[in-house]
């Protein structure tokens, strides 16, 4: 438990550090050096367009990240107005009552010390549980983080290709880049800044693939009307049309949440409390 609590503090700090390093590399290294085109007007220059795209992806990823943290799990004693909600939470705190004994699809998390309605999982990178209040923002966070990592990966590969005069036309070139770079770095043929960018390429690839996998897996569960907690516990859910399952998570005005980081606008949260 001590290791999990430590991870719950270190993981968000690690993610914010990676985000800050990515922002600095994109704005002050990749964009100025790789997207210069004197023949175009400043308004439609590649540097400005790429910078605007990167800022859009980063703002959505960071905005939804903050909303996931701010949208804390529900306090069942207050949010659902149960007469014995405080006693239920107290029983869960000392482990004398099973989380499934009060309401279906609820779970008490010892890391958060909260009870989550429609609990899905505990996200260490946000230090918060994912449930009915922040599921949509978590999916948008994963989506835009994967896109921002892909954008940084492409820009970084273009920078390394120009700096080292190499081509990535062969798919094996990226796989063999790291071992060759390590040998060149220790032999003094590679600068430390270039080696740092190469390491960031693989980090962006790993984070991007992980976030894309989380997003796709979460969408499949939402279409089926399930959560990860329900799947692990073997809980049976009522079959509903997939459109209703999507609307329950994304709300009626889902397009607004797709473009800008906002709370669960248009979602029928009152109906979730009545279940």
Which of 34-38, 78-82, 205-209, 250-254 has the highest mean predicted lDDT (pLDDT)? 205-209
- Return d(Cα 154, Cα 1) in angstroms, integer: 39
Top pLDDT among 45 and 137 is at: 137
Top pLDDT among 89 and 49 is at: 49
* Residues classed as catalytic: 123
| Side-chain-side CA neighbours of residue 260 (13 Å) | 4
Q: What is the mean pLDDT of the chain?
A: 81
Per-residue pLDDT tens digits for 71-117: 766 544 444 444 444 444 444 444 444 444 445 567 888 887 778 88
Position 39 scores a pLDDT of 61
Res 244 pLDDT > 80: yes
pTM assigned to the model: 0.83
Res 10 pLDDT > 60: yes
Position 271 scores a pLDDT of 46
101-139 burial, b for 16+ CB within 10 Å, e for fewer? Answer: ebbebbbbbeebebbbbbbbbbbbbbbbbbbbbbbbbbb
Per-residue pLDDT tens digits for 181-202: 999 999 888 899 999 999 999 9
- Report the pLDDT averaged over residues 213-241: 89
Position 117 scores a pLDDT of 82
Q: Poorest-confidence range of 53-62, 252-261, 265-274?
A: 265-274
């Amino acid at each position: 438990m001590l290791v999990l609590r430590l991870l719950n503090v270190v993981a968000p700090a690690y993610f914010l550090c990676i985000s800050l390093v990515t922002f600095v590399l994109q704005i002050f290294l990749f964009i100025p050096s790789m997207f210069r085109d004197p023949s175009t007007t400043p308004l439609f220059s590649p540097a400005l367009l790429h910078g605007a795209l990167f800022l859009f992806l980063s703002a959505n990823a960071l905005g939804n990240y903050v909303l996931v943290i701010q949208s804390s799990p529900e306090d069942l004693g207050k949010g659902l107005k149960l007469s014995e909600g405080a006693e239920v939470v107290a029983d869960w705190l000392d482990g004398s009552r099973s989380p499934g004994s009060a309401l279906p699809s609820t779970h008490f998390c010892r890391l958060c010390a909260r009870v989550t309605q429609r609990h899905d999982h505990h996200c260490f990178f946000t230090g918060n549980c994912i449930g009915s209040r922040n599921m949509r923002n978590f999916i948008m966070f994963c989506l835009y983080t994967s896109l921002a990592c892909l954008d940084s990966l492409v820009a970084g590969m273009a920078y390394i290709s120009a700096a080292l005069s190499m081509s990535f036309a062969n798919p094996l070139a990226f796989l063999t880049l790291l071992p060759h770079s390590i040998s060149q770095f220790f032999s003094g043929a590679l600068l430390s800044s270039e080696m740092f960018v190469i390491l960031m390429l693989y980090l962006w690839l790993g984070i991007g693939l992980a976030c894309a996998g989380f997003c796709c897996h979460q969408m499949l569960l939402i279409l089926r009307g399930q959560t990860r907690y329900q799947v692990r516990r073997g809980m049976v859910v009522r079959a509903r049309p997939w459109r209703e399952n999507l609307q329950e998570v994304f709300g009626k005005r889902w397009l607004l949440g797709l473009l800008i980081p906002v709370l669960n606008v248009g979602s029928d949260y009152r109906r979730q409390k009545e279940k």
